[in-house]
Structure 1
Amino acid sequence: MIQFSGEVPENKVNVVVTNLTVLDRDQPHSPNWNAVYRIVSGDPSGHFTIRTNPITNEGMLTVVKPVDFEMNRAFMLTVVVSNQAHLASGIQSSLQSTAGVTISVQDVNEPPVFPVNPKLIRFEEGVPAGTTLTVFAAQDPDHFIHQFVRYSKLSDPANWLKINRTNGQITTMALLDRESMYVKNNVYEATFLAFDNGKSGSPQASGTGTLQIYLIDVNDNAPVLVPREAQVCERARPNSRVNITASDADADPNVGPFVFELPSFPASVRRNWTISRISADYTQLKLRIPYLEAAVYEIPIIVHDSGNPPLSNRSLIRVKVCPCDDNGDCSATGAVAAAGLGTGAIIAILICIIILLTMVLLFVVWMKRREKERQAKPLLIDPEDDVRDNILKYDEEGGGEEDQDYDLSQLQQPESLEHIINKPAGVRRVDERPVIAESQYPVRPSLPHPGDIGDFINDGLRAADNDPTAPPYDSLLVFDYEGSGSTAGSVSSLNSTSSGDQDYDYLNDWGPRFKKLADLYGGGDDD
Structure 2
Amino acid sequence: MARPLLCAGLLLVQVVLSVQAETSASSVDHSPVHLRSKRSWQWKKFFIYEESDPTDPPQKIGKISNTHAKNSSTEYILTGEGANTFFRVNQFGDIFLLARLDREKKKDYKLKAQIMDVITKMKLDDDEEFSIVVNDINDNSPVFSEVYENSINERSERGTVVLTVSATDEDDPTTPNGMVFYTLLNGTDMFNIETDTGRIFTAVSTLDREITSQYKLIVKASDLRGIAATARNTATTTVTININDVNDNEASFAKKTFRFDVNEDEVPGLRIGILEVTDRDERQNKKPIFTVKSFSDIFSVDINDMHDGDLILKKALDYEEKKGYSFTVMITEEGIIHPSDNRDSKLHTMAEVHITVLDVDEPPVFTSTVYNFSINEGPIKQKEIGYVSAKDLDNTGYRIEYLIEDPDCPVEVNRETGRLTLKRELDRETQELHAFQVTAQEMSQKGQKSYALVNLKVNDINDNKPEVVRTDVYICESDRNGTVIGVIEAMDKDKDPGILSFTLAQKSLNFSLLDNRDNTAKIILTHGHFSTEKSANNILEVKVRDSGVPWLESITPLHIPVCTCHSDRQRDYCKPDAQTAVSASALITILLCILTILVIVILFALRKGYQKEALVGLGKSSGEIHEQLVSYDEEGGGEMDTNGYDVSILTSARQDSSARPTSGTTTYARVNKPSACTGDMAIMIEVKKDEADHDRDGIPYDTLHIFGYEGPESLAGSLSSLESSSSRFSVDYDVLNDWGPRFRTLAQLYGVDNSDSDSSY
Q: TM-score, normalised by structure 2?
A: 0.40
1:205 corresponding residue in structure 2: 449
Distance 1:477 1:214, change over 3 A: closer
Q: For residue 119 of structure 1, give the secondary structure of its aligned residue in structure 2.
A: strand
2:317 corresponding residue in structure 1: 68
2:552 counterpart of 1:311: yes
Q: For residue 301 of structure 2, give the secondary structure of its aligned residue in structure 1.
A: strand
Which region of structure 1 is more displaced relative to structure 2, 39-48 or 409-418? 409-418
**Residue 275 of structure 2 contacts residue 310 of structure 2 at CA under 8 Å; is this kept in 1?**
yes
Residue 7 of structure 1 and its aligned partner are, at CA, apart by 0.6
Distance 1:52 1:284, change over 3 A: closer
In 2, distance between residues paired with 1:63 and 1:74?
Answer: 15
1:168 corresponding residue in structure 2: 418
2:529 corresponding residue in structure 1: 291
2:468 to 213, 222, 225: 225
Residue 136 of structure 1 and its aligned partner are, at CA, apart by 2.2
In 2, distance between residues paired with 1:445 and 1:164?
Answer: 92
In 1, distance between residues paired with 2:758 and 2:504?
Answer: 106
2:278 counterpart of 1:45: no
2:399 counterpart of 1:148: yes
Specify every segment of 5 or more residues in structure 2 that has no aligned partner in the other structure, as ranges.
1-254, 580-641, 657-666, 686-719, 721-725, 729-748, 751-756
2:586 corresponding residue in structure 1: none
Residue 220 of structure 1 and its aligned partner are, at CA, apart by 1.8
Distance 1:455 1:191, change over 3 A: same
**Residue 329 of structure 2 contacts residue 352 of structure 2 at CA under 8 Å; is this kept in 1?**
yes
> C-alpha deviations, 1:485-513, integer Å up to 9, x for none?
xxxxxxxxxxxxxxxxxxxxxxxxxxxxx
Distance 1:12 1:316, change over 3 A: same
In 2, distance between residues paired with 1:127 and 1:409?
Answer: 82
Residue 240 of structure 1 and its aligned partner are, at CA, apart by 5.5
1:272 to 491, 505, 510: 510
Residue 250 of structure 1 and its aligned partner are, at CA, apart by 1.9
1:412 corresponding residue in structure 2: 647
Distance 1:15 1:198, change over 3 A: farther
Distance 1:107 1:287, change over 3 A: same
Residue 117 of structure 1 and its aligned partner are, at CA, apart by 4.1
2:142 corresponding residue in structure 1: none
Distance 1:169 1:203, change over 3 A: closer
Q: For residue 283 of structure 1, give the secondary structure of its aligned residue in structure 2.
A: strand
2:429 corresponding residue in structure 1: 179
Letter aligned with residue 547 of structure 2: S
Count of residues in correspondence between the two structures: 362
Distance 1:66 1:203, change over 3 A: farther
**Residue 263 of structure 2 contacts residue 358 of structure 2 at CA under 8 Å; is this kept in 1?**
yes
Letter aligned with residue 328 of structure 1: R
Residue 311 of structure 1 and its aligned partner are, at CA, apart by 1.6
Specify every segment of 5 or more residues in structure 1 that has no aligned partner in the other structure, as ranges.
265-269, 342-406, 422-442, 471-475, 481-527
Residue 229 of structure 1 and its aligned partner are, at CA, apart by 5.8
Residue 479 of structure 1 and its aligned partner are, at CA, apart by 11
In 2, distance between residues paired with 1:37 and 1:280?
Answer: 68
Q: For residue 222 of structure 1, give the secondary structure of its aligned residue in structure 2.
A: coil
Q: For residue 437 of structure 2, give the secondary structure of its aligned residue in structure 1.
A: strand
Q: For residue 509 of structure 2, give the secondary structure of its aligned residue in structure 1.
A: helix
Q: For residue 144 of structure 1, give the secondary structure of its aligned residue in structure 2.
A: coil
**Residue 197 of structure 1 contacts residue 204 of structure 1 at CA under 8 Å; is this kept in 2?**
yes
Greater RCO structure (CA 8 Å; 6+ sep):
1
In 1, distance between residues paired with 2:287 and 2:477?
Answer: 102
2:497 counterpart of 1:245: no
Residue 75 of structure 1 and its aligned partner are, at CA, apart by 1.0
> C-alpha deviations, 1:402-460, integer Å up to 9, x for none?
xxxxx997433342369999xxxxxxxxxxxxxxxxxxxxx979746444455699979
Residue 76 of structure 1 and its aligned partner are, at CA, apart by 0.5
Which region of structure 1 is more displaced relative to structure 2, 87-96 or 4-13? 87-96
Residue 21 of structure 1 and its aligned partner are, at CA, apart by 6.7
In 1, distance between residues paired with 2:304 and 2:758?
Answer: 127
Letter aligned with residue 413 of structure 1: S
Which region of structure 1 is more displaced relative to structure 2, 44-53 or 450-459? 450-459
Distance 1:155 1:256, change over 3 A: farther
Distance 1:37 1:198, change over 3 A: farther
**Residue 646 of structure 2 contacts residue 669 of structure 2 at CA under 8 Å; is this kept in 1?**
no
2:61 corresponding residue in structure 1: none
Q: For residue 416 of structure 2, give the secondary structure of its aligned residue in structure 1.
A: coil
**Residue 111 of structure 1 contacts residue 207 of structure 1 at CA under 8 Å; is this kept in 2?**
no
In 2, distance between residues paired with 1:61 and 1:44?
Answer: 14
Residue 167 of structure 1 and its aligned partner are, at CA, apart by 1.5
**Residue 87 of structure 1 contacts residue 95 of structure 1 at CA under 8 Å; is this kept in 2?**
no
1:6 corresponding residue in structure 2: 260
Q: For residue 560 of structure 2, give the secondary structure of its aligned residue in structure 1.
A: strand
Residue 308 of structure 1 and its aligned partner are, at CA, apart by 2.5
> C-alpha deviations, 1:70-89, integer Å up to 9, x for none?
44321102245689979755
> C-alpha deviations, 1:168-188, integer Å up to 9, x for none?
1111122232222x11xxxx2
Letter aligned with residue 8 of structure 1: V
2:572 corresponding residue in structure 1: 331
In 2, distance between residues paired with 1:53 and 1:272?
Answer: 89
Work out the percentage of aligned pairs sharing the same amino acid: 19
> C-alpha deviations, 1:193-223, integer Å up to 9, x for none?
23232766x55231222223251x3222221
Letter aligned with residue 173 of structure 1: K
2:358 to 106, 113, 122: 106
RMSD: 4.8
In 1, distance between residues paired with 2:516 and 2:669?
Answer: 84
**Residue 234 of structure 1 contacts residue 294 of structure 1 at CA under 8 Å; is this kept in 2?**
no
In 2, distance between residues paired with 1:81 and 1:339?
Answer: 95
**Residue 232 of structure 1 contacts residue 319 of structure 1 at CA under 8 Å; is this kept in 2?**
yes
1:118 to 370, 373, 382: 370
In 1, distance between residues paired with 2:542 and 2:305?
Answer: 86
**Residue 294 of structure 1 contacts residue 320 of structure 1 at CA under 8 Å; is this kept in 2?**
no
Residue 233 of structure 1 and its aligned partner are, at CA, apart by 2.1
1:259 corresponding residue in structure 2: 502
Q: For residue 227 of structure 1, give the secondary structure of its aligned residue in structure 2.
A: strand
